[in-house]
Amino acid sequence: MLKDDDYEYRKGCGYLGSFFLYRENEFAFCCVAKTVALNSANQTITDAIQQWGLHTNSLIDDIKNQRNCVCTDCHMLSDGYWVKSADLYCISIDSDNKDDICNFGCVYCFAKNKLNNFNVNENKKTALSLLLEISKISYLKQKNLFIQLSNGEPCANKDADSIFDIFNKTNWSLVLNTNFSIYNKNLAKLIENGKVGKIITSLDAGTRKTFKKIKNADKFNDVLNNIEKYPIHKTNLVLHYLFIEDINDNMKDIKGFYSIAKKIKSRINFTSDLYRPYTDRMRVLVLWVIKKAISNDIIVGCTEYVNRQDQQFINYTYKKLKAEFDEKNKAKLKGANKK
């Protein structure tokens, strides 16, 4: 567990020094920059984590000493208290493993090509074998790690039950990226037992028709039913809305989407197809949601895939309107107390 002393005030981001995405021949230290090649193709995970630590620490050093590096112009950099040196916090398993599949075909999906092109005989690890390997390393098994599953549709994986079971035997917390169309009893139990830190679902629509158009799957009602069926009050469910021009940038979908988020009081994150700028119409819709959300005590933010300008627009608007709302409420309360 890190102490106050382990942090320093500088430019940084939530990934650098905390996040590790492992692949057989490379690793990533965030979801924004390109991956880094590992020293050798058959490196063990422990070696890979060591290489990640050295690489990450040298980036932290570059940032502190204002040397140009891959982070220099990144839209995710901000002033704040960040770790002084690399300390693994989250391991992410993305769609790069044999057996990864998905039951949807989202029009925007950046993993679609990979998911459709796995050679069955490819000598790759599976998400399960990878997690088992990591869970055998005793210091990692005992560490309070977040394991992020983002591999195809994790609930459609043939090993889903065995994968979820690993969380019963480790100190890990699950961060699950899921389309939420599949109900899995073991996942429900994990949520119930407080082992799921966060669930992220990209809903992207507020109507069945638009959902089907974007996801190539007529599963809107299944997702809504699962939101009711899973014990989501025992975790943090975040609903994403990825704007696609002329498909879901309309009031009907936004209103439908917002009413779902309001009902379950979930955080809303706006997102974009890999940094594609928002149109004026999208900004009007974002503003509508922010105003409603503030009055219903719902947090609105955005993902790392939103470009700097739109990210500033969303975060600044939310912060400003929230402060105004809180100020007005305070004044009202004062007035009421005087009476």
Figure out which of the listed residues 98, 273, 288, 325 binds ligand SAM, where binding follows CB under 6 A: 273
Q: Which does 16 bind (CB under 5 to 8 A by kind): ligand SF4, ligand SAM, none?
A: ligand SF4
105 binds ligand SF4, rule: CB under 6 A = yes
Closest contact distance (angstroms) between CB of 153 and ligand SF4 is 5
Chain residues 50-69 in contact with ligand SF4, contact rule CB under 6 A: none
Residue closer to ligand SAM (CB basis): 167 or 305? 305
Give the Cα separation of 182 and 67 in Å (integer): 47
77 binds ligand SF4, rule: CB under 6 A = yes
Give the Cα separation of 330 and 336 in Å (integer): 10
Displacement of CA 127 from its chain's centroid (Å): 18
32 binds ligand SF4, rule: CB under 6 A = yes
Closest contact distance (angstroms) between CB of 34 and ligand SF4 is 9
271 binds ligand SAM, rule: CB under 6 A = yes
Q: Which does 311 bind (CB under 5 to 8 A by kind): ligand SF4, ligand SAM, none?
A: none
241 binds ligand SF4, rule: CB under 6 A = no
226 binds ligand SAM, rule: CB under 6 A = no
268 binds ligand SF4, rule: CB under 6 A = no
Give the Cα separation of 53 and 69 in Å (integer): 16
Give the Cα separation of 315 and 202 in Å (integer): 19
Q: Left, alpha or beta for 172 (phi > 0: left; psi -120 to 50: alpha)?
A: beta
- Amino acid found at 127: A
Residue 69 has φ and ψ, to the nearest 5°, of -150, 180
| Structure token digits, residue 197 | 């830190």
Residue spans of beta strands (DSSP E) within 160-266: 173-177, 196-202, 236-243
Closest contact distance (angstroms) between CB of 212 and ligand SF4 is 13
| Structure token digits, residue 211 | 């959902």
108 binds ligand SAM, rule: CB under 6 A = yes
CA–CA distances in Å: residue 80 to residues 84, 99, 245: 12, 40, 34
Figure out which of the listed residues 27, 29, 220, 243 binds ligand SF4, where binding follows CB under 6 A: 29
**176: burial class by Cβ within 10 Å (0-12, 13-18, 19+)?**
buried
Contact footprint for ligand SAM (CB under 6 A): 95, 102, 108-111, 150, 153, 177-179, 200, 202, 240, 242, 271, 273-274, 305
